[in-house]
Chains A and B, each alone.
Chain A
Amino acid sequence: DGGITQSPKYLFRKEGQNVTLSCEQNLNHDAMYWYRQDPGQGLRLIYYSQIVNDFQKGDIAEGYSVSREKKESFPLTVTSAQKNPTAFYLCASREGGHYGYTFGSGTRLTVV
């Protein structure tokens, strides 16, 4: 079945560590996105990529980095510069035209 796979489902990070969240899709979608969701805050855009080897900053890119070396993969690294990383991270991809996103099941990151 086609879909978006995010891993791990739960992730714990110590202060000062970098962590990488995986996002893989087999939908053959060109565009991929990373959002962060905090309680009461809605979804906020971190980074997005419309084609391979290209990506743009979203509204809250500071402390995050991404790569897009393959169409299927769009990993997100949460660096130690991100001061408040505890959140629910959602990866999405999009078919062309007016269609909306398809979301992965999310990664819940907690700083310990």
Chain B
Amino acid sequence: QKEVEQNSGPLSVPEGAIASLNCTYSDRGSQSFFWYRQYSGKSPELIMFIYSNGDKEDGRFTAQLNKASQYVSLLIRDSQPSDSATYLCAVRSGGSNYKLTFGKGTLLTVNP
């Protein structure tokens, strides 16, 4: 069973701080990695994807991937109250069938 693990939280940070969200995965052949944001009662929306080792930056968001450690993280700089949501890590495993396995999500709360 391919697994994706996240700390369920809640993770609480003050406004303006850096929020760090972490994810580990079990399938060493995994190819692509995604971060989704999900507000309460809403559907997930894609924030970032990464498939090469290293960092990828997009505005206040940075995704970091370390395939050797089977670890992917999301940093949110200058956190805002509107960033308060559940963040889902998703992993595409190897093979011809393209499907994502999701972690259970980390609840982030940004306090004004």
Measuring CB to CB, which residues of chain A are less than 8 angstroms from any residue of chain B? 31, 33, 35, 40-45, 48, 50, 56, 58, 90, 94, 98-106
Q: Are A105 and B42 in contact (CB under 8 A)?
A: yes
Distance from B27 Cβ to chain A, minimum over Cβ atoms (Å): 14
**Of A40, A45, A50, A90, the contact of B104 (CB 8 Å cutoff):** A40
| A contact residues around B71 at 8 Å (CB) | none
A103: contacting residue among B8, B43, B49, CB under 8 A: B43
Within 65-98 of B, Cβ neighbours of A (below 8 Å) are at 88, 90, 92, 97-98
- Minimal beta-carbon separation of B87 from chain A (angstroms): 12
Q: A-B contact count, CB below 8 Å?
A: 53
Chain B residues lying within 8 Å of A31, measured Cβ to Cβ, are 98
Interface range on chain B: under 10, 10 to 19, 20 to 34, or 35 or more? 20 to 34
Of the candidates B34, B44, B101, B103, the one having the most CB atoms from chain A within 10 angstroms of its own CB is B44
Contact at A42–B99, with CB atoms within 8 Å? Answer: no
Chain B, 16-69, CB within 8 A of any chain A CB:
31-32, 34, 36, 42-46, 49, 51
Select the residue from B32, B43, B97, B103 with max chain A CB neighbours within 10 A.
B43
Interface hub of A33, A48, A58, A98 (most chain B Cβ within 10 A): A98
Q: For residue A33, which residues in chain B have a CB less than 8 angstroms away from its CB?
A: 99-100
A11 to B47, CA, bound (A): 29
CB <8 Å contact, A50 and B98 = yes
Give the interface centre of B42, B88, B99, B103 by most chain A CB atoms within 10 Å. Answer: B99
**Contact yes or no, A90 B44, CB < 8 A:** yes
Can you identify 5 A-B contacts, CB atoms within 8 angstroms? A42-B105, A48-B97, A50-B98, A98-B31, A100-B100
Bound-complex Cα distance A42 to B99 (A) = 15
B45 close to A103 (CB less than 8 A): yes
Q: Contacts A50-B97, A56-B97, A100-B34 given; 12 further ones with Cβ under 8 A?
A: A35-B102, A42-B104, A42-B105, A45-B100, A90-B44, A98-B31, A100-B32, A100-B36, A102-B46, A105-B42, A106-B42, A106-B43
CB-defined contacts of A45 to chain B, threshold 8 Å: 99-101
